[in-house]
Chain A
Amino acid sequence: MSALLQVEGLTRRFGGLVAVDSLSFTVGAGEVVGLLGPNGSGKTTVLNLLSGALKADTGSVALKGQAIAGKPAHQIARLGVARTFQLVRPLGSLTCRDNVLTGLAFGRGRSWGAAARSEADTLLDRVGLARARDTLPGELTYIDQKRLELARALALQPELLLLDEWLAGLNPTELEEGIALIRSLSGQGITILLVEHVMDAIRSLCGRCLVMNTGRLIASGLPQEVLADPEVIRAYLGDDGSGEGRDA
């Protein structure tokens, strides 16, 4: 498997806080990789650095060998990196169809007109929003807004899809649908990097997991392996109280 995404020594500081600390990892084409870690460990910052929302202080990011670190977000999007947001951000004054059209019109396809509209409708069907084409996002439930965001991301025809807790807050049925949807995207050849706390989803979707704590990568490997890793458990749950490990 060739590396689709190659990250080397990625670092980002906010004042004195090192949010992401010389992070290096690769994601192969077609992989589904989970990015885990306790709250505040820097996962969302990593997604922001990859998608161009933030600029890295040092380090490099390469997509299919092409350096993208430091490029503006719209160029990265056009090169095939799409994302969703941890707190949904639909375009409130645009109908669902127009929300998806933004991705189609300015992404790699650059389609417009009747063709783009029918493509937008196909994408809305795909995420289960066929009935809501002409509705404004404000009238949708939270879950449906998340679906809309995914459709908008897919409209960019991404090679790499960054999902920031896309499955959070879903009920069990919706979660099952959500997992199936992500799996079908992966089956379609889209490489996915997902920040997620829902362990069931991680186990069933991810071929590999990266675990971060305080900006550093502390483990990487198969989901069941990393979740059993003592250091990962310590990062999530703290010390067991015996005093061991605190200074280790």
Chain B
Amino acid sequence: MSGRDILPILACALGVAALACVPFLFGDYGLSMAINIVSYTVLATAWSLFSGPTRYVSLATVAFFGIGAYTTAVFAESLPWVAVLAIATCLGVVVAAIVGLATLRLSGVYFVIFSLGLAELVRQLVTWWEVNKTRTLGRYVFTDITAAQIYWQLLGLAVLVFMAGFLIGRSRLGLALRAIGDDEVVARHSGIDTTRAKVALFVLSTVFMTLTGAIMAPRWTYIDPAIAFNPVISFTVLIMALLGGVHRLYGPVMGVVPLALLFEFLLARFPNHFSIMVGLVFILIVYAIPRGIAGLVEQTVERARRQPA
């Protein structure tokens, strides 16, 4: 490895180390904002790992997030934390593999609708189970995990999702997914097993979502299906990823930070008009910056480079 390779790695490591200090520097409010931002960073980056290159728009984010949250709610008191995370991972993988194999043959709008339906289906199933089998609709999540610990776990997960994205981008699988996004028929005729590639990445992407849900659950102390499977989470992730730009690994985070701050502001100031405002923001993003902030930045850089020549 030459010095040129080490420099960016060193910069990233320093950045992560600086971010890890957040719990010591800011108060409770600052920490809760940071948790919010990092969790959405993981969700939006994981979302665009799959949906970015393949252009399969998924609204199933919250299905996996909720599965993770419920895993924590059910097992956190009886099992060690590592085991809880392992169970969440396994559940996420199994559900994602089944769903992926069944649905990734669908394309375009059919997949979007299915993914939205899936989240609702999982929510209804959990509700049915809780009402009829366990006779409780809500659950308390009692753990001794502190907010700072949640933040550090999410930060670690964020590092993992970026590393996964970086490695996939340079791998055969990354090329396969971009080819699939362009033209699935051509991809198949180029020898790409499109179903396997899509399912593999769908599973990977949803594992990060499931783990985010599992890690975040202790924040709530009380969860019920309406909280854990709130469809707004799916839409928020989608909007954030699109605002940032899904064609670059660093894109989604550029959408997460401004929108998380904006939503915080809107929720505080206009709690009753929040949904309308979010809708307006969404429309604005799609019309004004279809390639996201990352696309905008690239355009500006490109223009600046051409001008002196």
What residues make up the interface of A, taking CB atoms closer than 8 Å to B? 51-53, 72-74, 77-78, 82-83, 85, 89, 91-94, 98, 101-103, 105-108, 112, 152, 155-156
* A91: contacting residue among B182, B191, B247, CB under 8 A: B182
Asked whether any CB of chain A lies closer than 8 Å to the CB of B186, the reply is yes
* A105: contacting residue among B172, B182, B194, CB under 8 A: B172
A93 touches B178 (CB 8 A): yes
Given contacts A74-B193, A91-B183, contact A98 B188 (CB under 8 A): no
Task: Give B171-208 as 1s and 0s: 1 = Cβ < 8 Å from A's Cβ atoms.
Answer: 01001101101110111111111100000000000000
Report the minimum CB–CB distance from A146 to chain B (whole Å): 14
A53 to B193, CA, bound (A): 13
Report the minimum CB–CB distance from B173 to chain A (whole Å): 10
Given contacts A73-B189, A74-B191, A103-B191, contact A93 B181 (CB under 8 A): yes
A91 touches B188 (CB 8 A): no
A78 to B73, CA, bound (A): 47
* B188: contacting residue among A73, A94, A155, CB under 8 A: A73
Given contacts A74-B188, A107-B191, A156-B191, contact A91 B172 (CB under 8 A): no
A105: B residues at CB distance < 8 A? 172, 175-176
The chain A residue with its CB closest to the CB of B195 is A72
A94 touches B185 (CB 8 A): no
A82 to B189, CA, bound (A): 7
* A77: contacting residue among B172, B183, B188, CB under 8 A: B188
B179 touches A102 (CB 8 A): yes
Count: A-B pairs, CB below 8 Å: 74
Q: Which of B189-230 contact A (CB under 8 A)?
A: 189-194
B182 touches A94 (CB 8 A): yes
A102 touches B187 (CB 8 A): yes
Task: Give me 30 A-to-B residue pairs in the complex whose CB atoms sit less than 8 angstroms apart, sorted by A's number.
Answer: A52-B188, A53-B188, A53-B189, A72-B188, A73-B185, A74-B193, A77-B188, A77-B189, A77-B190, A78-B191, A83-B189, A89-B183, A89-B185, A89-B186, A91-B178, A91-B182, A91-B186, A91-B187, A94-B175, A94-B179, A98-B175, A102-B179, A102-B187, A102-B192, A103-B190, A105-B176, A106-B176, A107-B191, A156-B190, A156-B191
A152: B residues at CB distance < 8 A? 190
User: Which 7 A-B residue pairs are closest in the complex by CB-CB distance?
Assistant: A106-B191, A91-B182, A73-B188, A77-B191, A102-B190, A107-B191, A78-B191
A101 to B192, CA, bound (A): 12
B185 touches A53 (CB 8 A): yes
A78 to B191, CA, bound (A): 6
B189 touches A51 (CB 8 A): yes
A52: B residues at CB distance < 8 A? 188-189
A74 touches B182 (CB 8 A): no
A122 to B108, CA, bound (A): 36
B186: A residues at CB distance < 8 A? 85, 89, 91
B192: A residues at CB distance < 8 A? 74, 102, 106
The chain B residue with its CB closest to the CB of A149 is B186
B191 touches A112 (CB 8 A): no
The chain A residue with its CB closest to the CB of B176 is A106
A74 touches B175 (CB 8 A): no
In this complex, the member of A52, A78, A105, A112 whose beta carbon has the largest number of chain B beta carbons within 10 angstroms is A105
B194: A residues at CB distance < 8 A? 74
Q: Which of B141-187 contact A (CB under 8 A)?
A: 172, 175-176, 178-179, 181-183, 185-187
Report the minimum CB–CB distance from B123 to chain A (whole Å): 35
A51 to B172, CA, bound (A): 23
The chain A residue with its CB closest to the CB of B247 is A93
A101 to B187, CA, bound (A): 11
Task: Give B261-297 as 1s and 0s: 1 = Cβ < 8 Å from A's Cβ atoms.
Answer: 0000000000000000000000000000000000000
A98: B residues at CB distance < 8 A? 175, 178
A204 to B157, CA, bound (A): 62
* B182: contacting residue among A78, A82, A93, CB under 8 A: A93
A93 to B175, CA, bound (A): 11
A93: B residues at CB distance < 8 A? 178, 181-182, 247
A105 to B179, CA, bound (A): 12
The chain A residue with its CB closest to the CB of B180 is A91
B188: A residues at CB distance < 8 A? 52-53, 72-74, 77
A102 touches B183 (CB 8 A): no
The chain A residue with its CB closest to the CB of B188 is A73
B179 touches A91 (CB 8 A): yes
Report the minimum CB–CB distance from B70 to chain A (whole Å): 37
The chain B residue with its CB closest to the CB of A53 is B185
B189: A residues at CB distance < 8 A? 51-53, 73-74, 77, 82-83
